[in-house]
Structure 1
Amino acid sequence: MNQTEIVNIFTKKTLALTFVLSAAAMAFAQDKAGVTGMIVNKNNQPVPYASVTFSNKANKTLSDAVLTDEKGQYKLELAPGNYDITVEAIDYKKSIVNKSIAGPGNIGALSIQPEAATTLDGKTQEIQGVVITAAATKPYKVELDKKTYDPSQDIVSKGGNLQDVLTNVPSVSVDTDGTVSMRGSSNVKFLINGKPSALLGIDDGANALQSIPADQIDRIEVITNPSSKFEASGTAGILNIILKKSKKTGFNGSVIGALGYLPQTSLNANLNWRKGNFTWFLNGGGGYRESKNTSRNNDDFNNAILDDDLVQRNTNAETKSKNNNYNASAGIVYDISEKTSVNASGTVRTFDSENFGNIDYRYTPLKNPFYTSNRNTFGTNNNLAFQGDFGLDHKFDDKGQNLSLSLSLQRSRSYNDTNIDDTIDNLKDIINQNTINKSVIGKADYELPIGEYSKLEAGYRIDINTNDYSNDVRESTTTKPLDFLKPYTYDATYKETFNAFYLQFKSKIGKLGYQVGVRDELSNVDINYLSLDPSKNGIVTTKNYNNLFPSVYLSYEFAKDNQLLLNYTRRIDRPRSFFMIPNPSYNDNQNIFDGNIDLNPSYVDSFEFGYSISKKKFTINPTLYYRHQTDDTKMLVYNILATDENGVIIDPKRIESHTKPINLGTDDRFGLDLNFNWDATSWLKFLGNVDLFGYNTKGSTLYDTFDKNGNPIQAVADFNGKGFSTRARLSSTFKVDKTFSFQLQGFYRGGQKTAYQDRKDMYAISFGASKTIWKGDGTLAFNVQDIFNTRAMRSTTYTANSVRDSYMQWQPRQFSVSLTYRFKQGEKVEQPKKKKDINSNASGDDQQAPM
């Protein structure tokens, strides 16, 4: 039995376990009786936000807890039995009474007595520390160093995946090929629960985003200008994906299934069980998805060899893929004491795909047709990722002095096999690409409150990442038997080690809040490249960097939820390991991507000046930003005549187009990023984002190409360009009644032009509808992505001897229907916190320390 078969058996069993546990949970949730009641003070006035704990005397697993609403009322589901009922509220004495629950009904009002130092009327004065598990009133909130987006109200992405969710996140854009960008830059750093994760695999882009179900996402932190507490990579910013972690007691969770077209199916479950000092969770599921990618390139070569004739190359490509993905996460949290807890969790993710590609080439001079060729590909891809996380959290006191230790061990591997048949010389290629990634991440974070408004934070982090690449390319023609293609057959090891230290202090003087910090990162990169190509055999490169990354945040609070924000950070853009392998890719012998082992990091100085006001019905957050990047990574596109392994021209009619990353010049971005949320009426809500930005790119370089006689020459690649563009997104949610809502989501990206590329504008409109059923325990949703099938990228690229018009659509219009079932018990009630988080206009739970 091979490894793939073992993985398939394991993942299928995992999915079967999800079904069994989900069914058991549904049965478990049905043996309950609906119980209601009320908490009042000595004046018979309702006490809001009081915690009410029902402890079953015979079976502790049947115990539950709930929080009273604004009217002092509560309701929950309980098994019949004898209970001790404990009632607690701020400024009130703890009260314990005994009740026997025989069946559904109202148990009446329970009275509690005020503390001696409370107010005369006995009403609660501060409730800001209470955490209530309920639907969020606003889809996002603004904090000092980040914005937090809640996808629970995003109807369009229900039943979808992380990529679908990101299409509606403020300040974030998703291109047609799955590339994620923030404010026009694609150098985005992804984190899962505050750290890099094997869930996102190795350089597999959109495939990785599609493997994380939307239903497993609790919130997304959009960090456009990360503080010193975060790792310094990702010049565009950080997207921190926080997965769901239940705070409810007992056994609870949800199951969601989806069915759609292009054919797609999925089933995922989130299961949680909290008993005493233990909290367990199991999240998992899987799905099947088909995709279709269409691209067309029309190249005009104006210096080709054919008696000064213009040569045109027309390329039409279509790739269809069938994807299976499975994921499972399990973990436990154990409270050693009230102040110390340990946690452990494990994650496994698989992704398998079959890809069918067809590319038609047609070369045409002005006089007579040259030739046409067809290239057919069949590829298989298998990804397997494991991750184990271990942690310890300790509270030294109740004032906020905390220590957090964590260790993450990750391993992922990707196997890619491709068979290619080309009509040119009856060419046949067999490509085997294997990549293995191993990562160790260790963190220590310490927080020390100083006085009422100040806090000192410090930490250390070590990252050790190793990527092993193995690439075998074999080729045969009518004149050559199957043999290795030397320039593209290699083994390479890329290892990077980062040591980071940070120190951060935040405080408040009157209405002025501030946070200053510095981060020191020591980076070591080793590359060992071994190729069959004698000219590139045995390349060994070592790079060392030591950089300081300061950050400064200022806020001025005019009133509650009304503040000005000003910040500055310095960031680094480390090249992707794939970009630094000299010959990383050979999937198309006429369009080749070349790596650059001499590629260096680029650096960014980023400034933001924003304003945030949040009222009951609207939130507005305009931000002016400026970003200056040096040693920018640009993609050099150049053309050469096709040669064999010895540098001899194969055919003077065949031209290879190459793309290579290089460090060059500067890139300045500036603009206005406006996010807003408006509850226009009780039945109509708007969520919008508008990014008006300018860009100024500088840089030019010489590169090798050929003249019309096939002689080598040098040409100039000019990257200079400046202009102005826009991005806009608007979601409109219509609430028909308490159980039914629908949503329209529109997206627009303006054109953008530089000296070497003119990218056309693009727009798309999507629709979603959601219906609550089964007395709130179920949700039925339907959505259509890209209703008018307009989400496609069009561009024109200029080189010294060619002009290329391109069209690319990653996925055509698609629709899906999903069904969610929630089985639930009482809620885990967090004890009130008396101390407010300074420098923040919104309270939050489960704060991360993604060092």
Structure 2
Amino acid sequence: MNKTEIVNIFTKKTLGLTLVLSAAAMAFAQEKSGISGIIVNKKNQPVPYASVTFSNKANKTLSDAVLTDEKGQYKLQLVPGDYDITVEAIDYKKSIVSKNITANGNIGALSIEPEASTTLDGKTQELQGVVITAAATKAYKVELDKKTYDPSQDIVSKGGSLQDVLSNVPSVTVDTDGTVSMRGSTNVKFLINGKPSSLLGIDDGANALQSIPADQIERIEVITNPSSKFEASGTSGILNIILKKSKKVGFNGSVVGALGYFPRTSLNANLSWRKNNWTWFVNGGGGYTENKTKNNSETTYHNIVFPDLTPGIQPKDVPVHQQQNSVNKTYNKNYNVSAGFVYDISDKTSLNLTGLVRTFDGDGNELVNTYDTFYRYTGDASNLWSLKNPYTLRDSKTIFNNLAFQGDVGLDHKFDDNGQNLSLSVSLQRNRSNNNADILESVDYVPSVQDITRRHSVTKTVIGKADYELPLGENSKLEAGYRLDVNDNTYDNFVSSTSNNPLIPNYNNNTDYREMFNAFYLQFKSKLGNLSYQVGLRDELSNVKINYISQNPDKPPLNKNKNYNNLFPSVFLSYDISKNNQILVNYSRRIDRPRSFFMVPFPNYTNNQNIFEGNIDLNPSYVDSYEVGYNITRKKFTINPTLYYRHSTDDTKMLVYRPDERQRVFYTKPENLGNDDRYGLDLNFTYDPFAWFKIMGSVDLFGYKTTGIASYETKDINGLTKVRSLDFTGSGFSTRLRLNTTFKLDKTLSVQLQGFYRGGQKTASQDRQDMYALNLGASKTIWKGDGTISFNIQDIFNTRGMTTINYSNDYTRSSYMQWQPRQFSVSLTYRFKQGEKIEQTKKKKDINANETGDDQQGGPM
């Protein structure tokens, strides 16, 4: 699609929608004024996190409240009238003044006096033995362009990993093999602190998800329809993982240790120290895990001839049956450490530097048992056919390791106190991965084939960013930015085998993959009465170069150079029906760039019967995404239903086929095939009916329609080349359900029960059946609030497995896969609070007021 077509889409669909909703909003909007101000002490120093309450004297329903930011400033919308303004802050006396609000503007500075226990400058004197903590906030929050999940109240994932946390995030699903999807689609883009990261190397799969401890995660931003400010990759959306960086003064931190079965141990620490203009932090730890993956399949082949059968006289209408059972045991060690500092050069400029190292390594042992049942020709007229049941055992011993480095440096500058900001950052990353396997295959208990595979890959990434924000009046803001991404990937593959497979030389290859793209974006935010809107446009210029060299002398080198230039518009609208009651509408266009190893021909040979083959001609797919949502927040509940529709073109699908019907070898290859449409209702809610009982749930009801027919060449049973086809067309309806209930048994003890259900999906070539699981967790606060002990069980009934049936012209396959069996663990958290032990909040509560008794360390909630 060219630029003109994209601009037409933007003009007709998004701007039209903007005008319609703007007109509706103006018809119903209440006239409010934008009010701002600052809270200061007697020395005219700002007071951060003060509570400012505006009580309307004539109509209490028009009252509102706000907290000041770190600079003591606040902003809110009020209906004009007479107000009593109440200012409260810890260690300050309550102050009440009266003002008449008439129009937009800054009402100036309001001064408050310190309590007797504070110094004249408003700073707290040292208090021993006092702990004041805010009550736990809601775990789920909706914003204009994203939704935020706070895992601090997630008892079930305590002592676990990022994968455990993601299993409980609304709108997100983690499959049995560690694949993450959003609203049924797996093309999810991961960010760490807003940037792609070596912590989550794209080739590392579930190992990378398990290498990030849950206790180092402050929050997860779920961006189902990203704005133009974000990179356009990831057609399903973006998951932005925000790691902990404490903002508390003095020395603070926590240490978490966990022990569980399947054998798993971990020890992680989050430490920070803040004094004057310096903030230092260190997060790190390690762990050991064992896992057992099961993969069982039954395949019925049609029109197949084995080497010991005579073509042309095989038994008619007698299918060949194959049963394959696989068990893979892995032993994994992982370590990670990140450290850095923030230095406030001045009140308006700060410098930050972060470095991290992550490594995981281990070994595995996979046993694949294969039983074949078929008839063979004997040549004896009295007994033409005899039944044969050969048994094959494939024993794979693997060693894998991964080492990732990342360094980030950033400079943030505030030109003034009105919000004019500039952020510059550079990120340097390197990820090295090795995966070696020694494979011995035996037929009828007699060793017959020995394979050796060696895979080595290195990824180097440079990311440069510049973001600028310019306020325009009280309610508007202009944002602009530039981003440069350079990714260099190298793949070295080596295979040796004692078999007579003629394709073995093709698996010995070297590939250099380089991707570079420049991105520019412009985004405008504003507010008209109760209507907030944000429109943006992003331009990305991409260049991909691939140099593929096969060690097979009969295969010439392959070189590919691709260039793309695409525009990506976005529109976000939010209409406030009343306080904490809003309608949200948005649109965005995104791109799904092929993964680098998807474009490497013959990238691996770990299983001689199931081979993944890359496609150097693979192109990006594009998606237009629409959402209409509603959000209401009350004291005891929040509800956020969203209707969505996504239309993908040139959608990437996995073609599973046999290039030779005389053999039992399957190839999997990504192809650009047809379109994919998804529509549905994504409903997220929280409900706190009692102080001791909390509920959080999500429901995703969606329909799908897939089109696409793939053609491929194969040799039939007589050795003749034929063209076959595989139909991906299908439509239907499916569900995703999740329910999380938390019971507070007393002030220090909480129990949590989580369950999820995933409905089946069906196309012309695949039937994916439903799945469900139940998890349990408990948490108790100990040591006067300085410690927490937690216990959890993942998959209580051991039901988290995936059953899939694949159909083709020449085979039918039923498979069951369980990536991780039932597990349980116990974790112990200890918190250091030797610095200033006070947080700013509207109410003073003891640590036991924390409704889950969980660790609140890690910055503002």
Asked if TM exceeds 0.5, the reply is yes
User: Which residue is equivalent to 1:496?
Assistant: 515
Change in Cα spacing, 1:432 to 1:457, as seen in structure 2 (3 Å) is same
Contact 1:474 1:484 in 2 (8 A): no
Q: Do residues 593 (structure 1) and 601 (structure 2) align?
A: no
Amino acid in the other structure paired with 1:576: R
- Between 1:416-425 and 1:396-405, the stretch displaced more is 416-425
Equivalent in 436, 451, 455 of residue 429 of structure 1: 451
User: What is the CA–CA distance in structure 1 between the aligned matches of 2:829 and 2:467, rounded to whole Å?
Assistant: 38
Residue type matched to 1:449 in 2? P
Conserved 8 A contact 1:381-1:417 = yes
The aligned counterpart of 1:257 is 257
Q: Secondary structure at the match of 2:597?
A: helix
Is 1:418 matched with 2:437? yes
Q: CA deviation at 1:521?
A: 0.2
Alpha-carbon distance in 1 for matches of 2:228, 2:723: 44
CA-to-partner distance for each residue in 1:579-630, whole Å, 9 max, x for gaps? 1001111001111111100000000000000000011110000000000000
1:202/1:413 contact within 8 Å kept:
no
Q: 2:479: which partner in 1? A: 457
- Cα gap change, 1:194/1:173 in structure 2, threshold over 3 Å: closer, same or farther? same
Quote the residue 2:329 is aligned against: 320
- Secondary structure at the aligned position of 1:680 is classed as strand
Displacement, 1:313?
A: 1.4
The structural deviation recorded for 1:532 is 1.5
Specify the SS of the correspondent of 1:208.
helix
Matched, 1:208 2:227: no
| Farther off after superposition, 783-792 or 307-316 | 307-316
Q: Does 1:307 align with 2:315?
A: yes
Structure 1 residues 664, 756: closer, same or farther in 2, change over 3 A? same
Within 5 Å, give how 1:27-42 maps onto structure 2.
Answer: none
Cα offset, 1:711, TM superposition:
2.8
Q: Which residue of 2 aligns with 1:685?
A: 694
Choose from 747, 758, 762 the match for 1:753.
762
Secondary structure of 1:640's counterpart equals: coil
CA distance in 1, matches of 2:544, 2:420: 36
Distance 2:632 2:258 in 1: 38
What corresponds to 1:536 in structure 2?
Answer: 555
Residues 126 and 836, structure 2, Cα contact 8 Å, conserved in 1: no
> What is the CA deviation profile of residues 114-143 of structure 1, one whole-angstrom value per residue up to 9, with x for unaligned ones?
xxxxxxxxxxxxxxxxxx973532101101
Deviations 1:397-417 (A, max 9, x none): 000000000000000100111
Once residues 740 and 386 of structure 1 are traced to their aligned partners in structure 2, the CA distance between those partners, rounded to angstroms, is 40
Return closer, same or farther for 1:441/1:846 CA change in 2, 3 Å cut-off: farther
Q: Say if 1:339 and 1:369 are closer, same or farther in 2 by CA, change over 3 A.
A: same
Q: Which residue of 1 aligns with 2:575?
A: 556
Instruction: Provide the C-alpha distance between the structure 2 equivalents of 1:810 and 1:260, rounded to a whole number of angstroms.
Output: 17
Retained in 2: the 8 A contact 1:86–1:97?
no
TM-score by length of 1: 0.82
Supply the AA of the counterpart residue of 1:578: F
1:712 corresponding residue in structure 2: 721
Distance 1:828 1:663, change over 3 A: farther
Q: Distance in 1 between matches of 2:129 and 2:237?
A: 52
Aligned partner of 1:511 in structure 2 is 530
Q: Residue 826 of structure 1 aligns to which amino acid in structure 2?
A: E
How far does residue 538 in structure 1 lie from its aligned partner after superposition?
Answer: 1.1
Q: Aligned equivalents of 2:450 and 2:393: distance in 1?
A: 12
Within-5 A mapping of 1:328-347: 328-347=337-356
For residue 727 of structure 1, the aligned residue among 724, 730, 736 is: 736
User: Residue deviations 1:772-825, cap 9 Å, x none?
Assistant: 001111000000000000000001001120000000000100000000001113
- In the TM superposition, residue 353 of structure 1 has moved relative to its aligned partner by 1.2
CA change 1:820–1:829 in 2 (3 A) is closer
Match of 1:178 in 2: 178
Does the Cα contact within 8 Å between 1:473 and 1:484 map onto a contact in 2? Answer: no
- 1:440 aligns to 2:440 (yes or no): no
Shift of 1:205: 1.1
Indicate conservation of the 8 Å contact 1:767/1:785, yes or no: yes
**Structure 1 residue 705: Cα displacement:** 2.4
Amino acid aligned to 2:763? T
Cross-structure match for 1:602: 621
Query: Which amino acid in 2 is paired with 1:450?
Result: L
Residues 398-409 of structure 1 correspond to what in structure 2 (within 5 A)?
398-409=417-428
Aligned to 2:709: 700
Q: CA deviation at 1:91?
A: 2.2
Q: Does 1:773 align with 2:795?
A: no
Asked whether 1:826 is paired with 2:836, we answer yes
2:315 maps to amino acid: D
Normalised to the residue count of structure 2, the TM-score between the two structures is 0.81
After superposition, the C-alpha distances for 1:496-531 in whole angstroms (9 at most, x for unaligned) are: 001000000010111111100000000000000001
Deviation at 1:319, TM superposition (A): 0.2
Distance 1:586 1:682, change over 3 A: same
The alpha carbon displacement at 1:298 in A equals 0.8
Please name the residue that 1:796 is paired with.
805
Separation in structure 1 between the aligned mates of residue 694 and residue 838 of structure 2, nearest angstrom: 30
Q: 1:239 — aligned with what? A: 239
Give me the whole-angstrom Cα distance separating, in 2, the residues matched to 1:105 and 1:554.
48
For residues 662-710 of structure 1, give each alpha carbon's deviation from its aligned partner in whole angstroms, at most 9, with x where no partner exists: 0010000000000000001111110000000000000112212233434
Q: Deviations over 1:131-179 (max 9, x none)?
A: x973532101101110000000111001101000001100000000000
**Cα deviation per residue 1:199-239 (whole Å; 9 max; x = unaligned)?**
11241111000000000000000000000000000000000
Give, in whole Å, the separation in 2 of the partners of 1:406 and 1:830: 31
- Identify the residue that residue 56 of structure 2 maps to in structure 1: none
Letter of the aligned partner of 1:452 in structure 2? E
Give the whole-Å Cα distance in 1 for the aligned partners of 2:124 and 2:475.
47
Unmatched 5+ stretches in structure 2 = 1-40, 52-70, 73-85, 97-108, 306-313, 376-385, 843-857
Q: SS of the counterpart of 1:199?
A: helix
Structure 1 residue runs of 5 or longer lacking an equivalent are 1-40, 52-64, 76-84, 107-131, 643-651, 833-844
Structure 1 residues 433 and 141, CA gap change in structure 2 (3 angstroms): same
Distance 1:101 1:219, change over 3 A: closer
Partner SS state of residue 228, structure 1: coil
Aligned residues of 1:202 and 1:414 also touching (Cα < 8 A)? no
Q: Verify the 8 A CA contact 1:50 1:87 in the aligned structure 2.
A: no
Change (3 A) 1:226 1:444: same
Any idea what SS the aligned residue of 2:234 has?
coil
- Paired residue for 1:665? 674
Distance 1:704 1:678, change over 3 A: same
Partners of 1:487 and 1:669 lie apart in 2 by: 38
One-letter code aligned to 2:743: F
Q: Which residue of 2 aligns with 1:811?
A: 820
Distance 1:286 1:493, change over 3 A: same
Structure 2 residue identity aligned to 1:594? E
SS of residue matched to 2:110? coil
Amino acid at match of 2:269: A
Deviation at 1:105, TM superposition (A): 8.4
Partner of 1:839: none
Say which SS state the counterpart of residue 447 (structure 1) adopts.
strand
> Contact 2:189/2:237 (CA < 8 Å) preserved in 1?
yes
Could you list the per-position Cα deviations for residues 627-652 of structure 1 after superposition, in whole angstroms to 9, with x for gaps in the alignment? 0000000111111338xxxxxxxxx5
- Aligned-residue CA RMSD (Å): 2.8
Contact 2:189–2:234 at 8 Å: present in 1 too? yes
Cα offset for 1:827? 5.7
User: Post-superposition shift, 1:370?
Assistant: 4.6
Partner residue of 1:284? 284
The change in CA–CA distance for 1:204 and 1:133 in structure 2 (over 3 A counts) is farther
Q: CA deviation at 1:558?
A: 0.7
Q: CA deviation at 1:359?
A: 0.3
Shift of the alpha carbon at 1:273?
0.4
Matched position secondary structure for 1:487 = helix
Question: Retained in 2: the 8 A contact 1:640–1:655?
Answer: no
